[in-house]
Amino acid sequence: MIKIFKKILPAALCVAMISASCQRDEVILPQADVKPDKAVYKVNDSVRFQFTGDADMITFYSGEKGKEYKHRERVELEGGDLRVNIESQVLYGIQNDNLKLLVSTDFNGKYTKEDVESAAWTDISNRLTWCVAAGGAVGVRTVSDYASIKDLVKSGQPLYFGFKYKGLKSTSTAAQQRTWRIYQFNVQNKFSETETVPVTNRVGAGWTTVTTQASPKGIWVFNNADMIYYNPESNLEEVEKWAISKRFDPNKVAPDNGQSIKKYPDNRMKSYAYAFSKPGVYEVTFVFVNGNYKDVKETVKTIQVTVE
């Protein structure tokens, strides 16, 4: 009888150990909740959130811009009106309409004649107001209103801008091509009357020259502090030279991030305090997580906080 008992005991211990091991491997859905200690706060008040229950890890989304739980997987903005404006000036010469602004969504980013010509470019010049001057005169600097190009934006595709200068062969021995100056070039995404996101400007556009019809004269200049400009250098021959921007992804955005306020080794958290620097109504979210190498389970709690 004793021998039989001795044989049964190790077997029972093994079963118990296996059972305990299985229990440790099993991930339980966090039974946790959170509430603020009051509904309305002042700017820079310490907003204290009280926890019940527990979880291995807790992540906090304040609901402020860039910290919203609902945007945690967002990689592209929606609903924006992409707009462009320029400030231009034309000088000297007599040739008309020899500078255009175009946009491409399929240019491959290789700044060669062949690659520029193989891309599809949409002329947006007529959406803008350009400087106008009589032949030989110095025009007045002209600021265009913002023009929408949201109809040209394609989801998941980049955007390139190109100023294309086209100079014709002179009909006499006098130089006829005109100088063009661009003082301002601005691109922005407008989401509402109060929210506008800058995309780029003249300095940040990263211009590169591409010659599609060669001529020994005529040059784009980008190193002037006040402008980019095309200098025809008294050219008498036909020429076509571009100033093309770097790639832009105007709707691309990084997902919103939460703040980890409790990690696995940490002790149980009973409360958390946070201060809001601006008034508003915030959707505050806490993500309670239990997990191990086999599984992860989470409980999400969202509460509204008013800051005056």
Q: What is the CA radius of gyration of the chain?
A: 32
Count of C-beta atoms within a 10 Å radius of residue 147: 17
Instruction: Kindly state whether residues 195 and 288 are assigned to the same domain.
Output: no
> What is the overall mean pLDDT for the chain?
92
- Asked whether residue 2 is domain-assigned, the answer is no
Asked if residue 239 and residue 260 are part of one domain, the reply reads no
The answer, yes or no, to whether residue 262 has pLDDT greater than 70, is: yes
125: which DSSP letter?
A: G
Q: Identify whether the C-beta of residue 255 lies closer than 8 Å to the C-beta of residue 74.
A: yes
Asked which of 190, 218, 244 is the last residue of a domain, the reply is: 244
Question: pLDDT tens digits, residue range 182-197?
Answer: 999 999 999 888 889 8
If asked whether residues 229 and 275 sit together in one domain, one would say no
Residues 140 and 277 both lie in one domain? no
Average pLDDT on 247-267 reads 93
Same domain, 270 and 219: no
User: Helix, strand or coil for residue 303?
Assistant: strand
Is 15 part of a structural domain of the chain?
no
Query: Per-residue pLDDT averaged across 13-28, rounded?
Result: 54
Domain membership flag for residue 41:
yes
Question: Do the domain assignments include residue 122?
Answer: yes
Structural domain contains residue 3? no
227 in the same domain as 90:
yes
Output the domain CATH number for residue 296.
Answer: 2.60.40.10
Range of the domain at 92: 81-244
- Nearby residues of 297 by Cβ (< 8 Å), 6 or more positions away: 27, 28, 29, 30, 289, 290, 291
Q: Of 211, 244, 277, which closes a domain? A: 244
Q: Which of 168, 184, 162, 165 is nearest to 111 (CA)?
A: 162
Is 98 in the same domain as 61?
no
Given a contact cutoff of 8 angstroms between Cβ atoms, the answer to whether 258 and 60 are in contact is: yes
pLDDT cut 70: percent of the chain above it: 92
Residues 239 and 115 in one domain: yes
Do 262 and 173 lie in a common domain? no
pLDDT of residue 293: 87
- For residue 200, CA distances in Å to 56, 149, 213, 225 come to 43, 14, 28, 16
264 in a domain, yes or no? yes
Counting the structural domains of the chain, the total is 2
Q: Does pLDDT of 9 surpass 80? A: no
User: pLDDT at position 79, please?
Assistant: 80
Instruction: Report the distance separating Cα 305 and Cα 240, nearest Å.
Output: 59
Confidence of residue 22 (pLDDT cuts 50, 70, 90): very low
List C-alpha distances in Å: 179 to 33, 167, 182, 214, 226: 68, 10, 10, 18, 15
The pLDDT of residue 39 is 87
Question: Where is the domain boundary, 202, 223, 244?
Answer: 244
Give a yes or no: residue 18 inside a domain: no
Give the other-Cβ count within 10 Å of 223's Cβ.
Answer: 5
pLDDT band at 269 (very low <50, low <70, confident <90, very high): very high
Residue 285 sits at the vertex; the CA angle it makes with 284 and 290, to the nearest 5 degrees, is 160
Whether 56 and 121 map to the same domain: the answer is: no
Q: Would you list the DSSP string of 127-151?
A: GS------TT-BPPPEEPPPEE-GG
Type of residue numbered 271: S
222 and 92 part of one domain: yes
1: pLDDT strictly greater than 80? no
Largest CA distance in the chain: 124
Q: Provide the pLDDT for residue 24.
A: 55
In a domain, 238, yes or no: yes
The stretch 135-156 carries a mean pLDDT of: 96
Among residues 266, 299, 286, 292, which one has the least CA distance to residue 27? 292
The DSSP-derived string for 9-34 is HHHHHHHHHHHHHHHHHSPPPP-EEE
Distance CA 200, CA 195 (A): 16
Helix (H, G, I), strand (E, B) or coil at 197: strand
Distance separating alpha carbons of residues 27 and 294, to the nearest angstrom:
8
**Mean pLDDT on 266-289:** 97
**Same domain flag for 161 and 303:** no
- Give residue-wise pLDDT tens across range 208-233: 999 999 999 999 999 999 999 999 99
